Structure 1
Amino acid sequence: MILSLLKTNLVNFDEFIHWYPESSENRYELHDGVIISMPKPRGKHSQIAGFSMNELSFEIRRLGLPYFIPKECLIKADDLSGYEPDVIVLKKEFIKNEPRWEKESTIIFGQSIQLVIEVVSSNWSDDYALKLDVYESIGIAEYWIIDYLGLGGRKFIGSPKQPTLTIYNLVNGEYQSIQFRGNELINSKSFPELKLTAEDIFKGE
C-alpha cells in the first residue's frame, strides 16, 4: 500500500540509491522520479510471500536449478524508476554481468531475472498495469500476480471478483497470461514440476 510521497522534486535512480536508508521500517520504490514509501509486508501478505519463496527455494535445491532467490533486490526499470518485488528469482549465470549487483543489490538487465512475484495490496493497479508494462518491456521471463483478496479490477480478474493468481509468460516479447483459482494446479514454465494449487498459495501453507 502506498503510504506517502516522500519528495516533491523528481529524483533519478542514482539519487534514489544514494538516498535509500540502510535501516528502515519501510521499503521504498521510485515511480517516475518520485520516491514512494511502501510498508514492509505484514501478516497474510508476508506469509504468502514467504511461503512462495520457500516453495521455490525447495524446487531450486531439489532439481539443482541454476537460480537463487535474494533476500532483497531492486529492479532498475529506467533512469527514473525502480521496484522491489515481493519475491525475485535470479539466474546465476547472468549475475556476473550485473554492474550494480555487488554494491547495491540492483538488477538492470531483464535477462538476469527468471521470475518476479508481486502479492497484491491496496495499490493493485501498480501490479496489474505499471509493473506489468515495465516487466514486459525489460524482458522478465515470468511474472506472477498473487491477488489473494481479489482486489484487482474486473478487467484483470473478471466478474465476480475472486482470489486469482495470474501468471504472465513472455512470448516473442509480449506477455501472455493464464489465471488460476481455487484448487486449480498452477502451471509455471520456470518451475514445471511445482505441485501447488492457487488456494495453497492464497493460504500461504
Structure 2
Amino acid sequence: MVTPTVVKTIAIQTFEQFLRQCPEEGRFEWVHGEIIEMVNTREHIDVAAFLTKMLDREVDRLNLNYVVRQEVYIRTPLTTGKTQGRIPDISVIDRDQWRSNRGTLGALTEPIQLAVEVVSTNWETDYFDKLDEYQRLGIKEYWIVDYLAIGSRDILGEPKEPTVFIYTLNGEGVYDRQAFQGQQNLVSPTFSELVLTPEQIFNA
C-alpha cells in the first residue's frame, strides 16, 4: 500500500481554489489546506471496481433512484466550521440530486446516500476523520472495507480479520455500526435486497 502524498503545501483557502490548483491526472483530496494525492494499489482498485459493479447492478435490477460513481468530490464540515474536499472510493447518490446541476465543477454539498472507503495504509483517516466528517454532513450510510485487516485491534478485535463495517445514521444523527466478516451477508438499508458477502468482496 502507498501512503497518500502531499502534492501542494501552499495555503489553499477555498474549495474553488482547490479545484483550480488540482492536477488534472489522478485522485486528490483537500485536507487542512493541502492537496493530497490518493495513490492506491491495484488490489485496492480491484476491490473498489468490484463493489462499484455490484452496487450498480443492484440499482439497475431494482430500478432504484440512485447513481453509483467513483470520481465525486464532497465538501465535508469540520468541528472548526471549515470544510474539506473528500472523494470517496464509491459514492451512491440520489439520481435527482446528481442531475440537479451536472454542468458544475464544484463538489456536492448536500449529504449523499452512501459513501464507501476501501482502507489503505492511512486507515485512521477512514476510521476516524472521514467517519466524523461524513456523520457531521449527514451521509446516511458509510461503508469501511478493510480487506487487509489493517485497522487497530481495538476496532477489529483479536485476531484481526478482514471486515466490512456498515455505519447507518440513526434518528439522533449518530452512526450505528455493524461488522461483517467471511460469508456473512451484508445488511444495507440502501440496498436491502443485496446478496453479497465480505468474502466475495475480498476475493475480487
TM-score normalised by length of structure 2: 0.90
Q: Which runs of 5+ in 2 are unaligned?
A: none
Report how far residue 108 of structure 1 moved. 0.6
Residue equivalent to 1:126: 125
- 8 Å CA contact 1:73–1:85 kept in 2: the answer is yes
Report how far residue 43 of structure 1 moved. 1.3
Residue equivalent to 1:74: 73
Residue equivalent to 1:55: 54
Report how far residue 189 of structure 1 moved. 0.7
Q: Name the SS for the 1:104 alignment partner.
A: coil
Q: C-alpha separation between the residues in 2 aligned to 1:158 and 1:31?
A: 29
The count of residues paired between Structure 1 and Structure 2 equals 197
- In structure 2, do the counterparts of structure 1 residues 7 and 17 end up closer, same or farther at CA, with 3 Å as the change threshold? same
Q: Name the SS for the 1:191 alignment partner.
A: coil
- 8 Å CA contact 2:9–2:33 kept in 1: the answer is no
Q: Point out 4+ residue stretches in structure 1 off by more than 6 angstroms.
A: none
Q: C-alpha separation between the residues in 2 aligned to 1:138 and 1:96?
A: 20
Give me the CA root mean square deviation.
1.6
Report how far residue 105 of structure 1 moved. 5.6
TM-score normalised by length of structure 1: 0.90
Q: C-alpha separation between the residues in 2 aligned to 1:148 and 1:87?
A: 15
Q: Does 1:179 align with 2:179?
A: yes
- 8 Å CA contact 1:73–1:105 kept in 2: the answer is no
- In structure 2, do the counterparts of structure 1 residues 49 and 201 end up closer, same or farther at CA, with 3 Å as the change threshold? same
Q: Name the SS for the 2:169 alignment partner.
A: strand
Q: Does 1:7 align with 2:9?
A: yes
Structure 2 counterpart of 1:47, which letter?
D
Q: Name the SS for the 1:89 alignment partner.
A: strand
For each residue in 1:134-188, what CA deviation from the matched residue of structure 2 results, as whole angstroms up to 9, or x when unmatched? 0000000100000000001122222221111100000020100000011111111
Q: Which runs of 5+ in 1 are unaligned?
A: none
- In structure 2, do the counterparts of structure 1 residues 58 and 96 end up closer, same or farther at CA, with 3 Å as the change threshold? closer
